[in-house]
Every structure is written in C-alpha cells, then in structure tokens.
Amino acid sequence: MTRLRVGVIGATGAVGQKFVELLEGHPWFEITALAASDRSAGHRYSEAVNWIGSAPIPASIASMEVVSLNTELPCDFVFSGLHASVADHAEPRLASEGYPVISNAKSFRMHKDVPLLIPEINPDHTALIENQDWGQGGYIVTNPNCSTVGLTCALKPLHDAFGLEAVQVTTMQALSGAGYPGVPSLDALANVVPFIGGEEDKLVHEPNKLLGRLVDGAIQTETITISAQCNRVPILEGHLECVSVKLGSCVSSDEVCRAFKSYVSPIRTLELPTEPDNFLHVFEDERFPQPRRHSELGGGMTVSIGRIRPCEVLDHKFVVLSHNTVRGAAGGAVLNAELLLKQGLLQPRKAHVPHNIGTAEGS
C-alpha cells in the first residue's frame, strides 16, 4: 500500500507533537509537511519545537523544515493541532482548497454537517461529509473533547442496551490536557483546580451528538440530561471520571458490567492500525483503574472501567479512565483518519492552488 502524505498543522504545539510521535512508522500515513507560525517557519523542526515527548524526536522528522501556514502544503490531508482561535479560520480555508482536515480543535465539533467522531461509537456519522461544500473535495472531521471521549465510550454500551435518561459526571483531569506550558506550577502542585474553562459545557452537549442517530443525512441528537463538574488534578496523563447513570430500564450492576464486556465495536473487522485489541477493559479489582498504572493500556487507546456498583441517587455508578492526549486527542484523530481511508474518503490529492491562511501556533 502506498502511504498517504500527511501534513501536521500546529506542529510545534503539544497536540502537534503527539501527532508526530504517533505517526512515526505508521503503515498507512507518512508526514510530508509540518506547519506552524511564522516565527517557527524556516527552521528545522528540532530547532523550532520545545519538545516535551518522553522519547526523542523521530530522526526522520527532526531535520524537516517547518513551513508557514501560508505555504502550500505537499500532502494529501492534514491533522490539525491548532488552537481553536486559529482553527476557526484556518480549517475552513484548508478545506476550501481541497484538503481533508482531521481536527482536534473545538471549532466545528457541533456544526450540524461536521462529523464528531469516535470510530467505535458512530462510524456512520462520516456520511455528514456529503453535506459539506467547502469546494474542491475538502472537508472537516473532528474528534471530541478529551474528557468527552472516555465518558461517551462508557455510555454507548449502556445506551444501546438499556437506554440512558440522566448522567452525572465528575472529572479528575490530567495536567497534560491543558497543553504546554499549561497550569502554573504553584496552582498544580499538591492542589486541585475545580474549574476548567468551557469543559463542562462540552461534556453536556458533545455526548448527545455522538450518541445521536443518522437519519436522512442528519444527526438526531439525543436528549440525555448530563450534569458535569470538571477538575484539574496533579497527574501527568489520564482523565479519571466518576460517573452515575439513570437508565431507561431496571437492571442489576452485574447486567451493567455484562453490557460493557459484551459491547462489540462496529469497526472490529476493519483492522485499523491504531484500534486497540480491547476497546473497553473492565476491572474487577475495586482499586482500579488508576491513571499511573492503566492510562497506557492498548497503547493509550483502551478505555478502562471499574468500580461498577449501585448508586444511591441514580441507578448505577462507575469509574472511567482514558488517556487524554492519545485516545482523547492525537490518537483518536489518527484512528479517525484510518476509518476515513477504509471508507474511501481519503485518497491522494491532485495538484492544487496555493492557499492563504492565518498564522498562529498550535496548542
């Protein structure tokens, strides 16, 4: 298979760096363009980036020249690690020039014609692409907020099996979710910050779009009542969420556990490289899951669930753990691209005319 050419925009930011990490050696995709702000353009990637990865910059990438976002990108599609303030303008312009844009930004997640995608949850929502009209075959696909991802992955089996009426969730979110440099050290050290701007609103609305049904080319969003409280805690990776649910039918906690264990991913037969062997891992040990021990399960793509038990206020409660920068960000976007390729929605691009998009660093 000839690998598709990938551009990473916002390449020097935290999410852009994670794309670089995860795409090293990918069997289907090859990075051929790195774009960032004008202050980074013209420098080697190793010189332009403040690398925060645990492994060295891949040798094949370190010497690549970073280009300005104003430059024509020699690639078939792009991964966007841009901050929303830049993505608002940059991503539509890229799409209008014929680039498929697979975005981590919040800018277009709730747009009615843009798929908000978790492949194991709603792969059919990619049909929304047909409604987009940016010109020259370009489109935008988004992945959800990092805290939405773990929650929705856990809600899907319950919604399918029993129906969902209400959800209460309290998150304990890793520092890496704030990007770099992120939360000031004197706020983060031995402390909990009980506010993350805009986060609770995303948890209230995004799952209802993700769990919605595709009917006549449009998403019928669900109307599940969700109450969310979001906290930043002093761990590096992994968002832990304490979830209580009210179901549409009366079932036991054992039945809830079986629903998690028996859920079959709709993309299981596609053999996508980034899809984990176990989409959901259910722990029997009441001490688990724990971020330090279990965030990396499935290469960071497995969502872990534990402490399933009756709830005194709603029906049942449990704990969910997901890796926020892999499953909840770059890894989720890479899996989206793999699904799009399998569905015939990604292919080599023909020659295109230069475009002109605004400049700013990704985060």
Catalytic-residue membership of 205? no
Catalytic-residue membership of 75? no
Whether the upstream peptide bond of residue 74 has omega within 30° of 0, thus cis, is no
CA distance 163 to 169: 17
Nearest CA to 248 out of 303, 343, 197, 316 is that of 316
Instruction: Kindly state the tokens that stand for 200.
Output: 């609770």
CA distance 11 to 101: 14
CA distance 131 to 302: 32
Whole-number Cα distances in Å, 184 to 146, 193, 234, 261, 275: 20, 11, 11, 40, 34
Catalytic residue among 239, 281, 316, 355: 239
Catalytic residue among 146, 153, 230, 257: 146
Q: What is the enclosing helix (H) or strand (E) of 103?
A: strand 100-103
**What is the torsional sign of CA 41, 43, 44, 48?**
negative
Instruction: Kindly state the tokens that stand for 212.
Output: 């919605």
Torsion angles phi and psi, residue 114, rounded to 5:
-110, 125
Whole-number Cα distances in Å, 171 to 126, 274, 291: 29, 26, 12
CA distance 119 to 275: 9
CA distance 129 to 115: 7
For the sheet containing 239-247, what is the strand order?
225-232, 164-173, 239-247, 316-322, 303-310, 280-282
CA distance 99 to 135: 10
List beta partners, residue 172.
Answer: 231, 240
Whole-number Cα distances in Å, 168 to 147, 158, 312, 342, 358: 13, 14, 13, 36, 39
Q: Which residues are catalytic?
A: 146, 239
